Amino acid sequence: MKPNLGALFDGYTRVARVYPALISLAPVIWTAAAVAPNAFTESTLRVGLTAAVGLGGIALLANLARSRGKEAESVLLVEWDGWPTTRFLRHRNAIIDPFTKARYHAKLQQLSPDLSLPNEGDERRDPRRADDVYRSATARLLELRRGPDYKLLQGENAQYGFRRNLLGLKPVALSLVAASIAVTSVTYWSPFGAGLARPPLFAAWLGDFCFVLVFALIVRKEFVRQAADEYALSLLRTLDENEGKNASHAAQRV
């Protein structure tokens, strides 16, 4: 029976945790295929994948990706000066225009009547408390946006998780690709590799080179921040979208 990752993991876990872990392992897989091609038959691959799923190997990799991603996130939040939603809600931040921001503040106040969202003066006098209020209001908003009506938002969240976890796995991925380059090189120049076809070894080298370029040039802090900002803005925009949905439902009742 062929294991179905889609049935074993929800969409977020699959995109944000499993995929980064498998990408990090890619050099090991193609290097093994080049060095020991006879071991990579359809039956052995099926048995290997079934064993990995059955023994919890893929779940372990997914949790490793999350753990490494959370470590990276804690460093990023310090550099970003807080969560993107918190920064965007600050009066002193100019990413969102003041009129839209005022509307967002009013909507968040309605969703969290127990909170008192700060005005500009409050924020200047006690910026730490203001940030605490923004985080609390955002947490409430997040809880209200977990349903099936917000699939696009959940997709943005998964993309952020994917990039964050991939960045967290970067040291692991680069260590694995370095080991793969060493194995391929030794195999190519040693007597062991004399009987192996050269094209797969060259392909493995090319794959390793492209892998290093991707992680060096693309998987960077800016790569994660872009996704984080897009997710934060998408989350805040639902405050207006929700109003539109409510207006539509009211019109239908009339």
How does pLDDT run across 23-58, given as a tens digit for each residue? Answer: 999 998 888 888 877 766 656 656 555 555 554 677
254 within some domain: no
Q: How confident is the model at residue 4, as a pLDDT?
A: 56
Q: Is residue 200 part of a domain?
A: yes
Q: For helices 98-111 and 221-253, what crossing angle results, to 10°?
A: 70
Structural domain boundaries enclosing 203: 5-248
Residue 74 CA neighbour count, 13 Å, CB half: 5
What is the phi/psi pair of residue 82, to 5°? Answer: 110, 170
Q: Does any domain span residue 224?
A: yes
Tokens of 110: 């309605």
* Residue 191, domain member (yes or no): yes
- Tens of pLDDT, residue by residue over 126-172, are 999 999 999 999 999 999 998 888 999 999 999 999 999 999 999 99
**69 within domain boundaries:** yes
Query: In the predicted model, what is the mean pLDDT of residues 83-108?
Result: 97
Q: Is the entire prediction scored with pTM above 0.95? A: no
Burial (Cβ within 10 Å: 0-12, 13-18, ≥19) of residue 18: buried
Cα separation values, 222 from 16, 31, 121, 162, 167, Å:
17, 30, 32, 14, 10
Q: What is the pLDDT of residues 216-253, one digit of tens each?
A: 999 999 999 999 999 999 999 999 975 545 433 432 33
What's the whole-number average pLDDT of the chain? Answer: 86
Within-domain flag for 253: no
Number of domains in the chain: 1
Decide if 160 is inside a domain: yes
The arithmetic mean of pLDDT across residues 86-91, rounded, is 98
In which residue are the tokens 């700060």 written? 118
| Cβ-contact 141, 44 below 8 angstroms | no
- Rounded Cα distance between 9 and 146, Å, is 17
Give the per-residue pLDDT at 254: 32
For tokens 């897009």, the residue is 230
Percent above pLDDT 70 for the chain: 82
pLDDT value of position 44: 60
Predicted pLDDT at 197: 73
